[in-house]
Amino acid sequence: MAEAMIEFQSVTKQYQSGQAAVDQLSMSIDKGSITVFVGPSGCGKTTSLRMINRMVEPTSGTITVGGKDVTSVVAADLRRSMGYVMQSSGLMPHRSVLDNIATVPRLNGVSKAEARKRAEELLDVVGLASALGKRYPSQLSGGQQQRVGVARALAADPPVLLMDEPFSAVDPVVRDELQQELLRLQRDLAKTIVFVTHDIDEATVLGDKVAVFAVGGKLAQYATPEEILRAPANDFVASFVGRDRGFRHLAFTASDGVAVHPVTTVARDASAAADGHWRLVVDEDSRPLGWTGPGTGRDLIPGGSLFRAGDTLRRALDSALSSPSGLGVVVDNDGKAAGVVKAAEVLGLIESARQVRRGNL
Ligand code: ADP
Ligand code: MG
């Protein structure tokens, strides 16, 4: 059993008469894990998040952090004790990146020199070059600004990090990078992170647990991503998760049954295949470079995501479908080509996995 860090006990927030923004929310958030609040716009995610650090006060109910009722802590102190990251980075435009990151440590009485040193370290932690420290926020890309926002939230080394749609305003490629970076960071830091998003894919990628909110501020389901995709608690969750949840679920399905077939490899400068078969082009260390195939002459066709033993069925399918030959390239732990998987076979396994799941529901 994981230890609880944050607990909501029958928490309601009513901004004005009529429907509550958050309605009788009771949930327990595990220490050292990522909990995602997900749901359509206006369903009370931000309100719930902000009640944790008292940016918003509940109308009724109790919230505890580390076993302590949040109302027993001065709101300003509570706020400073937690990291907070929002969609717009919220950086101070007239201050350098380093000074922005150093803000909370400075407020906490850390010396200027020490706060700067810590800020420099944090630039590296969030994957930014140290040269960016002297710039102003407007001189950074959207993705870089969000990284600075994360660095600033981490500066005082808070046990709790609250993140409100921090990656929603950047393009999908950068969002994907930021998500992977957050997961990498979390492996080292093991913070208690509460992360708000309206995107179910982001929720299932990041969340150890996912809380699906429904309109009217009601908690519709609170479970692991896998369980939410496999067994939505009701029609609302099912439709929010989407029709293609059968495929999303593959991201959690092991690929144990996928057959790996031998593949013919050739060196980069070998002459073209004349027999109408696809050949995998590899470098001196047997690492895949691309394909040559029927009608491609000597051209190397790049492409195909790679698949490793132990990856999910989703990755097996991705590798086969993204490959120009229809054969997904399997690599070993050293990145050397180890064989191929066939799209038709992966799809067959997916279909039988789906039937098993239907039978279970
Ligand atoms: P979400 O983050 O899920 O989009 P919010 O928590 O921001 O939802 O909002 C929940 C509901 O509360 C919405 O109906 C919104 O209009 C209302 N609301 C949010 N903030 C305020 C406020 N400061 N004053 C009045 N109503 C608010
Ligand atoms: Mg919101």
In a structure prediction context, what are the per-residue pLDDT tens digits for the chain, which is 361 residues long?
A: 689 999 999 999 999 888 899 999 999 999 999 999 999 999 999 999 999 999 999 999 999 999 999 999 999 999 989 999 998 878 999 999 999 999 989 988 999 999 999 999 999 989 899 999 999 999 999 899 999 999 999 998 999 999 999 998 888 888 888 898 899 999 999 999 999 999 998 999 999 999 999 988 999 999 999 899 888 999 999 988 875 555 666 767 777 888 999 998 888 876 655 677 788 999 999 999 888 887 766 678 876 788 888 888 888 888 888 888 889 999 998 889 999 999 888 888 877 766 665 554 4
Determine which residue's CA is closest to atom 16 belonging to ligand 1.
42
Q: Does the beta carbon of 42 sit less than 6 angstroms from any atom of ligand 1?
A: yes
Residue 309 is predicted with a pLDDT of 81
Ion ligand 2 residues within 5 Å by Cβ: 46
CA angle 68, 158, 7 (to 5 degrees): 35
Whole-angstrom Cα distance, residue 120 to residue 125?
9
The phi and psi torsions of 346 (rounded to 5 degrees) equal -65, -45
Token pair for 150: 């994360």
For residue 133, which of 155, 153, 148, 111 has the smallest C-alpha distance?
148
- Residue 304 pLDDT: 73
CA of 139 to the centre of ligand 2 (A): 27
- Which three-class secondary structure state does DSSP give residue 38? strand
Ligand 1 pocket, 41 CB below 6 A?
A: yes
From the alpha carbon of 49, which atom of ligand 1 is closest? 6
- Residues 179, 205 contacting (CB under 8 angstroms): yes
Residue bearing the CA closest to ligand 1, atom 25:
15
Amino acid 271: pLDDT: 61
Task: Give, for ligand 1, the residue of 13, 15, 57, 198 to mutate: max count of ligand atoms closer than 8 Å to Cβ.
Answer: 15
The residue assigned the tokens 């790679």 is 306
pLDDT of residue 229: 86
Give the tokens for residue 252. 């959690």
Q: Please name the residue ranges forming H helices in the chain.
A: 45-52, 75-80, 97-101, 103-107, 112-125, 142-154, 172-189, 200-206, 225-230, 235-241, 245-248, 313-321, 343-360
**pLDDT score, position 251:** 67
Q: Is the CB of 22 under 6 A from ligand 1?
A: no
User: Is the shortest distance between the CB of 12 and ligand 1 below 6 Å?
Assistant: no
User: Cα–Cα distance between 359 and 361 in angstroms, integer?
Assistant: 6
- In the chain, count of helices (H) and strands (E)? 13, 16
Q: Give the residue carrying structure tokens 């179910």.
A: 200
* Dihedral in degrees, nearest 10, Cα atoms 36, 41, 46, 47: -120
Distance (Å, whole) CA 228 – CA 242? 11
- Separation of 113 CA from ligand 1 center, angstroms? 40
Domains of the chain: 4-242 (3.40.50.300), 265-350 (3.10.580.10)
Q: Is the CB of 25 under 6 A from ligand 1?
A: no
> Which residue's alpha carbon is nearest to atom 1 within ligand 1?
42
CB 188 within 8 A of CB 121: no
Ligand 1 pocket check for 306: Cβ under 6 Å: no
Specify the residue with its C-alpha closest to ligand 1, atom 15: 42
Q: Which listed ligand is nearest to 20 at the C-alpha?
A: 1
pTM: 0.74
Helices 142-154 and 172-189, packing angle to 10 deg: 20
Q: Which ligand is closest in space to the CA of residue 86?
A: 2
pLDDT computed for residue 121 by the predictor: 93
Q: Provide the pLDDT for residue 361.
A: 42
- 3-state DSSP helix/strand/coil % of the chain, to nearest 5: 35, 25, 40
* Residue tagged 């749901």 (tokens): 39
What separation in Å is there between the alpha carbon of 216 and the centre of ligand 2?
13
Q: Is 211 in the pocket of ligand 1 (CB under 6 A)?
A: no
